[in-house]
Amino acid sequence: MKTLHYLTASIFMLFILSHTALHAQSLFETASNERTIVGKGAVTLNGYARGSVYGAGENYDFTNAFSEVSLKTGLKTGKFIATADIRFRTGYAFNESYKEMELKEAYAGYSSSAFDLLLGNQIVSWGRTDGFNPTNNINPVNYFFFTGNPDDQKMPNLMLRANWRITPVIDWEVIALPVFKPSHYRYDLFDMGENTSFTNASLPEKNFENASLATRVNFELPGMGFSISWFRGFDPFYGFNVQNISFDTGEPVITNAPAYYRKNSIGFDMALPIGPVIWRNEAAYNFTENENDEIYIPEPGPGYVSALEYNTGNVMILVQYIGKFVPGFNALEEPVLSDPSNPLALMQYATETIHYQSALFNRKIFQQEEEFHHALSATITGRFFRETFNVECTGYYDITTEEYMVKPKVELKVGNGLSLSAGYNYMHGPDGSIFNYASPVMNGAFIECKASF
């Protein structure tokens, strides 16, 4: 079933891209590095203008090439605050031109030394490991917005967010998401074959029952930091379901659709400094239901990350182990053709094979094709000449599937808010592997020129 291999490539490579974005911060957090031009009173205004090109891949000369202006404003009057980040963008993506305005963040509320209550579009990042965050279930991701900065792919979510600083070292955060917002995929960019298509999915109804709720208690002690978290709702990262199989043409015509599932997740993360080394750990146990009846629902089980971060002078080295475990793992049973001469038996065999391969590929999406899944990642970052010249290289190797990715990047800060950056993203895997199918779209060079004000 070559067509389903292409489908799986399109989905699973998205998962890898989202989890190889190391040192991820929210766009609101990174905005603090930009200069404020109006800040003497209660109002601040800053932003940037940039040009970015990502391309030179096998399928697209210009995967994404655009110019963009970002305007970020903040207001603080007493204990009332408001923040907005608006982006205007025009360019070319996947051989098509586009113009768009993106409201990255826009929220307002109450903020004091002890308590915050904020309502609106926000981006929240949970967890203490970098890039691979099993406890981070709040925001969806636009996996098809390709740039040199993985933060660009984060999507805001409408939420009511409360944070109570109980003591100087303990805070309690509660987040309510009234409407489910899934991550953004583009299945149409991949050749899935003439007999396979993808249709839009129906989002869950907008009601209280389908709302999501998350909470976290965070401790920042003198010797270490850790938190305990819980999430209940629809996962923004999802699989697919076989919606229809037609034999009207004599061959199976497959219609697939994204499919969303609900989960409960209990998480824990910690960071423990040991001299120049920081030991980071993060884990979450996901509880799901009806996983034996629906192929798009992953098996319940834990995902975990353990990392060592070493800082020496201007160089930082980060090594991470990423794992998953499926308790009570059962391998899928491959269908068997009972009677090759019986047309009804052939049709039944084809239907069962399509469902079998679809279920298998969904397991690959969630890294549950084996009882244990193992992977390693490493990042080396160097900051030189008073941090005006920065070098970074990230590598990822999947021990279970023997696939790997390398992403080098350099950045030159010219001065007066001007920076130049360039790099390359290279993925490779054995024949028939996910990376082997994904690399024609994912591989490519990127370059960016950015002026902040």
- Collect all residues with Cβ–Cβ distance below 8 Å to 316 and sequence separation of at least 6: 309, 310, 379, 380, 381, 382
The more confidently predicted of residues 72 and 338 is 72
Alpha carbon distance 367, 372 (integer Å): 9
Give percent above pLDDT 70 in the chain: 90
> Could you read off the pLDDT of 278-289 as tens digits, one per residue?
999 999 999 999
- Check: CB of residue 405 under 8 Å from CB of residue 15: no
- Give the model's pLDDT for residue 436: 82
- Check: CB of residue 403 under 8 Å from CB of residue 375: no
8-state DSSP, 363: H
- Give the model's pLDDT for residue 332: 92
Residue 95 — φ and ψ, nearest 5°? 70, 15
When pLDDT is cut at 50, 70 and 90, the band that residue 4 belongs to is very low
Q: Give the Cα-Cα-Cα angle 233, 202, 18 (nearest 5 degrees).
A: 55
For the residues 124-138, what does the mean pLDDT come to? 93
Task: Examine the pLDDT at 177 and tell me if it is beyond 60.
Answer: yes
Alpha carbon distance 305, 283 (integer Å): 6
Task: Examine the pLDDT at 260 and tell me if it is beyond 90.
Answer: yes
Place of tokens 């308590």: 115
Nearest to 394 by CA among 411, 416, 377, 410: 377
- Check: CB of residue 151 under 8 Å from CB of residue 54: no
> Could you read off the pLDDT of 187-216 as tens digits, one per residue?
777 767 778 888 888 899 999 999 999 999
- 448: which strand partners? 52, 421
> Could you read off the pLDDT of 352-383 as tens digits, one per residue?
999 998 999 899 989 999 999 999 999 999 99
Strand-by-strand arrangement of the 239-246 sheet: 196-198, 253-259, 239-246
CA dihedral 200, 194, 17, 95 (to 10 degrees): -90
- Collect all residues with Cβ–Cβ distance below 8 Å to 451 and sequence separation of at least 6: 48, 49, 50, 417, 418, 419
Alpha carbon distance 63, 53 (integer Å): 8
- 413: which strand partners? 419
Place of tokens 């920076």: 419
Place of tokens 């998962």: 15
Pairing of strands 43-55, 444-452: antiparallel
Pairing of strands 196-198, 253-259: parallel
Task: Examine the pLDDT at 36 and tell me if it is beyond 80.
Answer: no
8-state DSSP, 448: E
Q: What share of the chain is helix, strand, coil (3-state, %, to 5)?
A: 15, 50, 35
Burial letters 210-231, b for 16+ CB under 10 A, else e: bbbebebbbeeeeeebbbebbb
CATH for 2-32+99-452 is 2.40.160
- Give the model's pLDDT for residue 26: 35
With H, G, I as helix, E, B as strand and everything else as coil, classify residue 328: coil
- 193: which strand partners? none
User: The whole model's pTM is what?
Assistant: 0.86
When pLDDT is cut at 50, 70 and 90, the band that residue 433 belongs to is confident
Write down the domain spans for the chain: 2-32+99-452
Task: Examine the pLDDT at 1 and tell me if it is beyond 60.
Answer: no
For the residues 397-413, what does the mean pLDDT come to? 96
Rg (CA), the chain: 23
Mean pLDDT taken over the chain: 88
When pLDDT is cut at 50, 70 and 90, the band that residue 40 belongs to is very low
- Check: CB of residue 295 under 8 Å from CB of residue 241: yes
- 146: which strand partners? none
